[in-house]
Amino acid sequence: MIKLGIIYGGTSTEHDISEMSAKSVIENLDKEKYEIHELFINRYGKWFECKGDKKEEIYNLIWTLKDLDVAFPVLHGKGGEDGTIQGMLEMLEIPYVGCGVLSSSIGMDKVYTKIIFERAGIPQTPYIYIKKKDDKFIIVNENFDEEEFEIEKILSKLKFPMFVKPSNSGSSVGVKKATNNEELKMAIMNASQFDTKILVEQGVIGKEVECAVLDEDELQVSTVGEIMPAEEFYSFDAKYNIPDSKTIIPAKITESQIEEIRKLALKAFRAIDGKGLSRVDFFIENETNKIYINEINTMPGFTKISMYPKLFEAAGISYSELLDKLIKNALI
Ligand SMILES: Nc1ncnc2c1ncn2[C@@H]1O[C@H](COP(=O)(O)OP(=O)(O)O)[C@@H](O)[C@H]1O
Ligand SMILES: [Mg+2]
């Protein structure tokens, strides 16, 4: 039996999503193969081991973790998907599922993801990097020099609609669409509640598609799935609260577009020095059919109906098999 620690919950805005993902993972793990240890982090950062209905607070975390053969941090967002827990597991020499410290932290930070993708030559929408410093906004230019914030600087580089996002966030928390100056200012203020680094991006009007990468002996890349958000864009509510958001696998796009996206997904995974798994998200612009990368998620949603497992299911790899592969890869 492999002693497997499923770490979930966490202090990020995606606590609930992590609980949903972990529940699915635990349900679908082969109980003959794994001795499962459920390690729950509450919203305040306290750790518990769950045994049946009982939650026991963990007093010696290092001891508890060191007893595992392998850990699966089914955590999304800050403190889970950003390299911090990965760093702790590295220090304790505990093998773990998924991306390492560097790739996790790049993937979590939208500004730095953009910088790496730029270097890799992966097409993406133009953007402006804003920072909040001492209650004032500043623009950080391409050379990382800090300039005075002026709305005109944004308007001269980007067209409406724009998307404003906290650099470190997930599940669309803090993400707003802006169609005029007023909305833009409000969206920047709003995003600054979640992070001091803010990204303003040119909006793409088109399809939203996703592709899954799995690190086996060789990198496996799935087909492409399409998101049909129930709201104007794929907001938090459209993701989790409105059952009308749909996914279509494979996406209704051409064969050559699918091939192009698969290639770009692999490139993105390599560019961030990915390991284990990632879901790579793209837009396809209606007017031009151009493909733009949106982001890479190093710990994508993992419920049974999430896009990542569904994309591999379409290739004949069941959810349980997928978990086995991920865990096996962590132990190599
Ligand atoms: N540049 C953009 N053009 C069009 N829609 C966008 C753009 N950026 C974000 N969105 C919409 O907002 C959603 C959330 O943004 P995203 O960058 O994926 O953040 P998160 O990491 O929270 O998922 C996307 O799924 C998409 O629907
Ligand atoms: Mg996203």
- Cα(236) to centroid(ligand 2), Å: 10
pLDDT tens readout for residues 7-26: 999 999 889 999 999 999 99
- Cα(144) to centroid(ligand 1), Å: 24
Q: Which domains does the chain have, with CATH numbers?
A: 2-97 (3.40.50.20), 107-122+205-331 (3.30.470.20), 127-202 (3.30.1490.20)
- Cα(332) to centroid(ligand 2), Å: 30
Q: Looking at residue 121, what DSSP letter applies?
A: T
Band of residue 245 on the pLDDT scale cut at 50, 70, 90: confident
The finding on whether 124 has its CB within 6 A of some atom of ligand 1 is no
Instruction: For residue 203, give the ligand nearest its CA.
Output: 1
Residue 154 has pLDDT above 80, yes or no: yes
Torsion angles phi and psi, residue 192, rounded to 5:
-70, -10
The finding on whether 298 has its CB within 6 A of some atom of ligand 1 is no
pLDDT tens readout for residues 199-225: 999 999 999 999 999 999 899 999 999
- Six token digits for residue 79: 């403190």
pLDDT tens readout for residues 90-135: 999 999 999 999 999 999 999 999 999 999 999 999 999 999 998 8
83 CB burial (10 A radius; 0-12, 13-18, 19+): buried
Are 73 and 98 in contact by the 8 Å Cβ rule? The answer is yes
Torsion angles phi and psi, residue 235, rounded to 5:
-75, 175
The finding on whether 236 has its CB within 6 A of some atom of ligand 1 is no
Q: Which atom of ligand 1 is nearest to the CA of 125?
A: 1
Q: What value does the mean pLDDT take over residues 165-192?
A: 94
Band of residue 52 on the pLDDT scale cut at 50, 70, 90: confident
- Cα(87) to centroid(ligand 2), Å: 24
DSSP string, 14-40: THHHHHHHHHHHHHHS-TTTEEEEEEE
Residue 298 has pLDDT above 90, yes or no: yes
Sheet holding 176-178, edge to edge: 146-148, 136-140, 127-133, 197-202, 162-166, 176-178
Residue of 157, 242, 288, 294 best suited for mutating to test ligand 1, as the one with most atoms within 8 Å of CB: 294
Residue 332 has pLDDT above 90, yes or no: no
- Six token digits for residue 99: 């991306």
Residue of 104, 233, 239 best suited for mutating to test ligand 1, as the one with most atoms within 8 Å of CB: 233
209: helix, strand or coil: strand
According to DSSP H, which parts of the chain are helical?
15-28, 61-66, 84-91, 101-108, 110-120, 151-157, 181-191, 236, 255-271, 307-313, 319-331
pLDDT of residue 163: 98
- The total of other beta-carbon atoms located within 10 Å of residue 32's CB is 6
- Cα(103) to centroid(ligand 1), Å: 20
Q: Please name the residue that has the structure tokens 């906004």.
A: 137
DSSP string, 214-270: EESSSEEEEEEEEEE-SSSS--HIIIII-TT-EEESS-SS-HHHHHHHHHHHHHHHH
